[in-house]
Chain A
Amino acid sequence: MSIVGKSLLFIAVLGLAACNNPDRYGAGGAGGAGGAGGIDTTGLGDPSNPTSIAYFNQTVGDRVLFEVDQSTLTAEARTVLAAQAQWMMQNPGYAAIIEGHADEQGTREYNLALGARRAAAVQNFLISQGIAANRLRTISYGKERPLAICSEESCYAKNRRAVTVLSAGAGA
C-alpha cells in the first residue's frame, strides 16, 4: 500500500450532509476562520471488514488515474469504479466526495478546471452504475494537493487522479 493509503488511516473523513466543509486538506479544526464547524468524524474501521471505509479504500480502491490532460476513464478505471459503485450499493449509509486532481504541468486555473472534469467523469460513471446523485459531490483541487512530489512522470501519473472519499450517514 502506498504511503497515502497508510496516512488515510489516521485522518478524519469529513461528513457530506451534515457538514459543509469537505476540505480535508485545510487546517480544519486548527481554529482558523476556515468554516470548520460541523465536521463528522467517521471511523475507518477494520480493513478486513468488507463494509468498512478502510476496506473500500484499500481493497475496492478509492482512486482512478488519468492520462495527461485527459478526463476519459480508462478500462482499468472503469473496473475500479464499477467495484466502487457495487460497494456503495451494498453500503447505502455512505456518501462520497469525489476529488479531482491534476499534475503540476499546467497553470493553476486550467488545472482546477481539469480536476473538476475528472471528478465529474467519475461521478457520472457512478451515477450510470445506479448510485443516487444525491450521494455524490465533487471538488477539484487542481494541482494544489499532489500525492507524489517529484517532478517526473512517475509522480505526475499518481497525481492525475480522482479519489472517492467516503463519509457515513448521508444520502440514502
Chain B
Amino acid sequence: MILLRGLLAQLVVVAATFGFAGAAMAQDYERPSITFDQGVIEPMPIAVPTFIDEGGAGEYAAAISGVVTSDLEGTGFFRTIPEEAQISKITSFDGGIAFEDWKAINAQVLITGAVSMSGDRITVKFRAYDVFNGQVLEGAALQFAGTPDSWRRMAHKVSDVIYSKITGEGGYFDSRVVFVSEAGPKDKRLKRLAVMDYDGANVAYLTDSSTIVLAPRFSPQGDRILYTSYETGFPQITLLDVGSLARQTLDAQDGTMTFAPRFSPDGGSAVFSLERGGNSDIYLLSLSSGQLTQLTNAPSIETAPSFSPDGSQITFESDRTGVPQVYVMPASGGEGTRISGGEGRYSTPVWSPRGDYIAFTKQNAGRFHIGVMRADGTEERLLTASFLDEGPTWAPNGRVLMFTRETSGGEGQASLWSVDITGRNLKEIPTDGPASDPAWSPLLP
C-alpha cells in the first residue's frame, strides 16, 4: 500500500491566480504558441530558472523545477536555455523581472516558481511570462498545494498548464500508465502489473508474477483496472481496484476464455472478447448488474474492442476476410463496417479520447507499425516501424501515443515507447526492466 501513496497522494489545486501588473499590453502582437500539426518545428526556447525556496522547501524547489523542465523538453516542442547562459537571476517570486535580460538570451517564455513547506503541506506557485511583452500568459499563474509525496504531481500540473496555454491542446503530464513489468527469458517470461507516472517515475507493482497477466486498461476515472489474468488457470478478465488492490475475476464461465477487456466511457461496463469452442466474439458486461450482452456473432475472430468516447460506437478487429482488419459497429452490436483498407493486417484499434482518430497496430511485409486514421478509415498515417510494435494507448490529450516495442531474437525484450500523432518525438520511456502493454490513465483530478 505504501507503494501506492504516490498515486493516491492528496493534491489540492488552489486556483489562486496571481494577477501580475506587467508592461502595457502591446497590440498586434503574436503570443508564443505552437501548433501541434505544423510541419518540422524548431523547439521554442524557454527559461525555467530553479524555483525559489520560500521556506522549508529544501530540495523540493529544485526537484520540481527539474520535473517541469523535463516534462516540457520531453514533448520535443521546447528547448530550455541552460542556467549558466541566463543573465538574470530570479531571487524573489514577486520581485520585478528584467525582461531585457531574458530577451537577450532569446527566451520566449520565462517560467518562475516558488515552493514552500509548512507542516505536512507543500505549496507550489508559478507564473509563465511571455518574455516579449512582459505579460503573464493568460491563466498561467497558479498555486498547487498537497502532501510532500505529491510533489511530482504538482510539478506535472505546472507543466500541464504551461503546455496547454502554449499549444492549445490539453495537458497529459499529470497522469499514470499501467503496464506489464516483465522478467526472465522469452520462453519463461514472468509478468506482473505495474503502474508508473507517465514519464516512468514512481513505479508501484499491483500484482506478483505468479501467473500470466496481460493488457491492463484504466477505467475512465482511473480508479480501477481491467486486465486478462491466468489466475484461475484459464485466461479470464479481471477487475482490480487501484486503491485497495482487491481483485475479482469477471464472468468466469466454465469452458470459455475472456480477454481484451476495456471499459465503456462511463466506466459502468466492460467490453471484451469471449471465446467458446474456439470462436471469439465481442460481449458487453455490466459491472453493476452482471448482465452479459453478445455484440458480435460470427465464426471469425472478433476481438480488441474499444468504445468511441461518446459511447455510441465500438471499433474492433475481425479476421472475417481472412486477415485481421479494423471495423466500427454501433455500441449495441452488429456486423460493423470495415474501415481499414490498406495492405497488410490491422489490429488493436483504439479510439482517441478526443474522438478524432483511431490508433492501430499494422503488420505488413514483415514489419509492425503504429498508426492513426480517421474513424472512417481515411487519412491513414503510419507513425513507427520496427520488428514488433503493438498495442497503442492514447495520452489523455489525444495527441501522444504509447506502445510496446519488442526486439527480435532469443534475447528479444519488450520496452515502452511514445510518439506524437504527427510521428514526431519517438522515444523510449525509461522503466526498471522490460515492459509491455501500456495503458494511459485519464488526466488525474
Q: Are B301 and A23 in contact (CB under 8 A)?
A: no
Q: Are A33 and B210 in contact (CB under 8 A)?
A: yes
Q: Closest CB-CB distance, B281 to chain A, in whole Å?
A: 10
Q: Closest CB-CB distance, A135 to chain B, in whole Å?
A: 13
Q: Are B304 and A110 in contact (CB under 8 A)?
A: yes
Q: Closest CB-CB distance, A2 to chain B, in whole Å?
A: 12
B384-422 toward A: CB 8 Å interface, digit per residue (1/0)?
A: 000110110000000000000010111010000000000
Number of residues of chain B lying within 8 A (CB) of chain A: 53
Q: Which of B210, B255, B273, B345 contacts A26 (CB 8 A)?
A: B210
Q: Closest CB-CB distance, A122 to chain B, in whole Å?
A: 10
Q: Closest CB-CB distance, A147 to chain B, in whole Å?
A: 7
Say if the beta carbon of B317 comes within 8 Å of chain A. yes
| Chain B residues within an 8 Å CB radius of A23 | 211-212, 230, 233-234
Nearest CB in chain B to that of A114: its residue: B301
Say if the beta carbon of A69 comes within 8 Å of chain B. yes
Q: Closest CB-CB distance, A39 to chain B, in whole Å?
A: 10
Q: Are A108 and B214 in contact (CB under 8 A)?
A: yes
Q: Are B260 and A112 in contact (CB under 8 A)?
A: yes
Q: Closest CB-CB distance, A103 to chain B, in whole Å?
A: 11
Nearest CB in chain B to that of A104: its residue: B388
Say if the beta carbon of A117 comes within 8 Å of chain B. yes
Known: A20-B233, A137-B255. A147 touches B187 (CB 8 A): yes
Say if the beta carbon of B277 comes within 8 Å of chain A. yes
Q: Are B278 and A110 in contact (CB under 8 A)?
A: no
CA distance A68 to B415 in the complex (A): 26
CA distance A21 to B235 in the complex (A): 11
Q: Which of B187, B209, B235, B388 contacts A145 (CB 8 A)?
A: B187
CA distance A106 to B49 in the complex (A): 48
Nearest CB in chain A to that of B404: its residue: A108
Q: Closest CB-CB distance, B246 to chain A, in whole Å?
A: 11
CA distance A71 to B299 in the complex (A): 13
| Chain A residues within an 8 Å CB radius of B324 | 107, 110
Nearest CB in chain A to that of B361: its residue: A107
Q: Are A34 and B257 in contact (CB under 8 A)?
A: no
Q: Are A139 and B215 in contact (CB under 8 A)?
A: no
Q: Are B215 and A35 in contact (CB under 8 A)?
A: no
Known: A104-B388, A109-B259, A150-B410. A144 touches B301 (CB 8 A): no
CA distance A97 to B296 in the complex (A): 28
Say if the beta carbon of A172 comes within 8 Å of chain B. no
Q: Are A119 and B278 in contact (CB under 8 A)?
A: yes
Q: Are A144 and B211 in contact (CB under 8 A)?
A: no
Known: A108-B437, A112-B260, A139-B257. A36 touches B234 (CB 8 A): no
Say if the beta carbon of B280 comes within 8 Å of chain A. yes
CA distance A105 to B278 in the complex (A): 20
| Chain A residues within an 8 Å CB radius of B406 | 104
| Chain A residues within an 8 Å CB radius of B228 | 112
Q: Closest CB-CB distance, B30 to chain A, in whole Å?
A: 45
| Chain A residues within an 8 Å CB radius of B390 | 107-108
Q: Are B212 and A110 in contact (CB under 8 A)?
A: no
Q: Are B363 and A35 in contact (CB under 8 A)?
A: no
Say if the beta carbon of A167 comes within 8 Å of chain B. no
| Chain A residues within an 8 Å CB radius of B235 | 112, 139-140
| Chain A residues within an 8 Å CB radius of B209 | 27, 32
Chain A 93-148 residues near chain B, CB threshold 8 A: 104-110, 112-114, 116-121, 123-124, 137-141, 144-148
Q: Closest CB-CB distance, B240 to chain A, in whole Å?
A: 12
A15-27 toward B: CB 8 Å interface, digit per residue (1/0)?
A: 0000111110111
Known: A107-B391, A113-B303. A32 touches B348 (CB 8 A): no
CA distance A33 to B232 in the complex (A): 10
Say if the beta carbon of B208 comes within 8 Å of chain A. yes
Q: Are A35 and B211 in contact (CB under 8 A)?
A: yes
A24-46 toward B: CB 8 Å interface, digit per residue (1/0)?
A: 01111011111110000000000
CA distance A104 to B187 in the complex (A): 11
Q: Are A138 and B278 in contact (CB under 8 A)?
A: yes
Chain A 52-95 residues near chain B, CB threshold 8 A: 69, 71
| Chain B residues within an 8 Å CB radius of A25 | 188, 212, 230
B129-149 toward A: CB 8 Å interface, digit per residue (1/0)?
A: 000000000000000000000
Say if the beta carbon of A149 comes within 8 Å of chain B. yes
Q: Are A27 and B211 in contact (CB under 8 A)?
A: yes
Q: Are B257 and A27 in contact (CB under 8 A)?
A: no
Q: Are A110 and B437 in contact (CB under 8 A)?
A: no
- Could you list 23 examples of A-B contacts with CB < 8 Å? A20-B232, A34-B210, A35-B233, A104-B388, A106-B363, A107-B347, A108-B215, A108-B390, A108-B391, A112-B214, A112-B257, A112-B259, A112-B303, A113-B273, A119-B278, A121-B278, A137-B255, A139-B234, A144-B214, A149-B186, A149-B412, A151-B387, A151-B408
Known pairs A109-B317, A151-B410 / 9 extra A-B pairs, C-beta < 8 Å: A25-B230, A33-B231, A106-B345, A110-B303, A110-B347, A112-B275, A117-B301, A140-B235, A141-B212
> Which residues of chain B have a CB within 8 Å of any CB of chain A?
185-190, 207-212, 214-215, 228, 230-235, 255, 257, 259-260, 273, 275, 277-280, 301, 303-304, 317, 319, 323-324, 345, 347-348, 361, 363, 387-388, 390-391, 406, 408-410, 412, 437
